[in-house]
Chains A and B, each alone.
Chain A
Amino acid sequence: MGSILSGAEAASLVRALPGVDAVGLEARAAGLSTRSVKTTSKAQVIDLAISMIDLTTLEGADTPGKVRSLAAKAMRPDGDAPATAAVCVYPSMVAAAKDALQGSEVKVASVATGFPAGQVPLDVRLADTESAVRAGADEIDMVINRGAFLAGDLERVYQEIRAVKAAAGDARLKVILETGELATYDAVRRASWLAMYAGADFIKTSTGKVGVNATLPVTLLMMQAVRDYRAATGVQVGVKPAGGIRNTKDAVKYLVTVNEVLGDDWLSNEWFRFGASSLLNDLLMQRQKLKTGHYSGPDYVTVD
Chain B
Amino acid sequence: MFEYAPAPESVRPQIKEHYGLFIDGEFVDAESDFKSVNPATEEVLFTVAEADEADVAKAVAAARRAYETVWGPMSGTERGKYLFRIARLLQERAREFAVAESLDNGKPIKETRDFDVPTAAQHFFYHAGWADKLAYAGHGPDPRPLGVVGQVIPWNFPLLMLAWKIAPALACGNTVVLKPAETTPLTALMFAELCQEADLPPGVVNILPGAGAAGAAVVDSAVDKVAFTGSTAVGRAIAKAVAGSEKKVTLELGGKAANIVFDDAPIDQAVEGIVNGIFFNQGHVCCAGSRLLVQESVADDVLERLKERVATLRVGDPLDKNTDIGAINSAAQLERITALTEAGRGEGADVWQPACDLPEQGFWFRPTVFTGVQQSMRIAQEEIFGPVLSVLTFRTPDEAIAKANNTPYGLSAGVWTEKGSKILWAAERLRAGVVWANTFNRFDAASPFGGLKESGYGREGGRQGLEAYLDV
Q: Which A residues lie at the B interface, using CB under 8 A?
A: 18-21, 23-25, 27-28, 34-42, 44-45, 48, 224, 255, 259-260, 263-264, 267
Complex Cα gap A264–B1 (Å): 5
Interface centre among A19, A24, A35, A263 (most CB of B within 10 A): A24
State how many angstroms separate the Cβ of B320 from the closest Cβ of chain A: 8
Selected A-B contacts with CB under 8 Å, 9 pairs = A18-B267, A23-B439, A24-B438, A34-B321, A38-B4, A38-B6, A41-B5, A48-B2, A267-B2
State how many angstroms separate the Cβ of B45 from the closest Cβ of chain A: 24
The yes or no answer to B201 lying at the interface (CB within 8 A) is no
Q: How many residues of B contact A (CB 8 A)?
A: 24
Q: Which of B35-43, B227-235, B268-276 forms contacts with chain A?
A: B268-276
The yes or no answer to B297 lying at the interface (CB within 8 A) is no
Inter-subunit contact B438/A21 (CB<8 Å): yes
Given A19-B418, A24-B266, A24-B269, also A36-B1 (CB < 8 A)? no
Inter-subunit contact B1/A41 (CB<8 Å): no
Number of A-B contacts (CB under 8 A): 71
Complex Cα gap A35–B323 (Å): 9
Contacts of B273 in A (CB 8 A): 24
Inter-subunit contact A18/B4 (CB<8 Å): no
Residue of A nearest to B304 (CB): A231
Select one of A18, A34, A38, A44 contacting B2, CB under 8 A.
A44
Contacts of A21 in B (CB 8 A): 266, 269-270, 418, 438
Residues 417-443 of B, flagged 1 when their CB comes within 8 A of A and 0 if not, give 010000000000000000000110000
The yes or no answer to B322 lying at the interface (CB within 8 A) is yes
State how many angstroms separate the Cβ of B181 from the closest Cβ of chain A: 28
Interface centre among A27, A36, A263 (most CB of B within 10 A): A36
Select one of B7, B264, B267 contacting A36, CB under 8 A.
B7
Residue of B nearest to A44 (CB): B2
Contacts of B291 in A (CB 8 A): none
Inter-subunit contact A36/B321 (CB<8 Å): yes
State how many angstroms separate the Cβ of A105 from the closest Cβ of chain B: 22
The yes or no answer to B110 lying at the interface (CB within 8 A) is yes
Inter-subunit contact A260/B1 (CB<8 Å): yes
Contacts A18-B266, A48-B2, A259-B1 known; list 14 others, CB within 8 Å: A18-B265, A18-B267, A19-B418, A21-B270, A21-B438, A23-B269, A24-B272, A25-B269, A35-B321, A36-B322, A37-B4, A38-B5, A41-B2, A41-B4
Contacts of B266 in A (CB 8 A): 18-21, 24
Contacts of A20 in B (CB 8 A): 266, 268-269
Interface centre among A21, A40, A260 (most CB of B within 10 A): A21
Contacts of A224 in B (CB 8 A): 268
Complex Cα gap A21–B114 (Å): 22
Inter-subunit contact A40/B5 (CB<8 Å): yes
Select one of B1, B110, B272 contacting A27, CB under 8 A.
B272
Contacts of B264 in A (CB 8 A): 18-19
Contacts of A39 in B (CB 8 A): 5
Select one of B5, B110, B267, B270 contacting A34, CB under 8 A.
B110
Return the 9 tightest CB-CB contacts between A and B, nearest first.
Answer: A24-B269, A36-B7, A21-B266, A19-B418, A21-B269, A36-B321, A41-B5, A39-B5, A21-B438
